[in-house]
Amino acid sequence: EVQLVESGGGLVQPGRSLRLSCTASGFTFGDYAMSWVRQAPGKGLEWVGFIRSKAYGGTTEYAASVKGRFTISRDDSKSIAYLQMNSLKTEDTAVYYCTRGGHGDRLDYWGQGTLVTVSS
């Protein structure tokens, strides 16, 4: 059974950093691109970015709203994807979901999400 479990969310002050983790199981993690999608309270889904599999260079792409502040990485040996968030803003407050799939793919499995609250 495919499972994605996010962790690392919490309350953080504006301008600070936070790192989210997504631990995967039930599939060969290294074979898949992984994406992060967020949802602000009461709002719709917003794509954050994704990382390709190593077979496709392991490269990343980001939404303009987070480019230069957020970094996605992966550790295939541990089946974990990371979202490093720097220079956080109040508008980054959202539930962050880890999903399997990348650009051009369907996002076929989602984690339960982790809440990030950016507030002073």
Partner 1 sequence: SYVLTQPPSVSVAPGQTARITCGGNNIGSKSVHWYQQKPGQAPVLVVYDDSDRPSGIPERFSGSNSGNTATLTISRVEAGDEADYYCQVWDSSSDHPFGGGTKLTVL
Which residues would be at the binding site for partner 1 (CB under 8 A)? Answer: 37, 44-47, 61-65, 97, 103-113
CB of 84 to partner 1, least distance (A): 19
Residue with Cβ nearer partner 1 (61 or 76): 61
Residue with Cβ nearer partner 1 (31 or 108): 108
- Structure tokens given for 2: 């495919």
CB of 74 to partner 1, least distance (A): 20
Residue with Cβ nearer partner 1 (58 or 101): 101
Residue with Cβ nearer partner 1 (46 or 76): 46
Q: In what order do the strands lie in the sheet with 3-7?
A: 3-7, 18-25, 80-85, 70-75
> Measured between alpha carbons, how far is 90 from 93 in angstroms, rounded to an integer?
6
Angle at 30 between CA 6 and CA 3, to 5 degrees: 35
How many CB atoms neighbour CB 13 within 10 A?
Answer: 10
CB of 44 to partner 1, least distance (A): 4
Q: Is 83 exposed, middle or buried (0-12, 13-18, 19+ CB in 10 A)?
A: buried
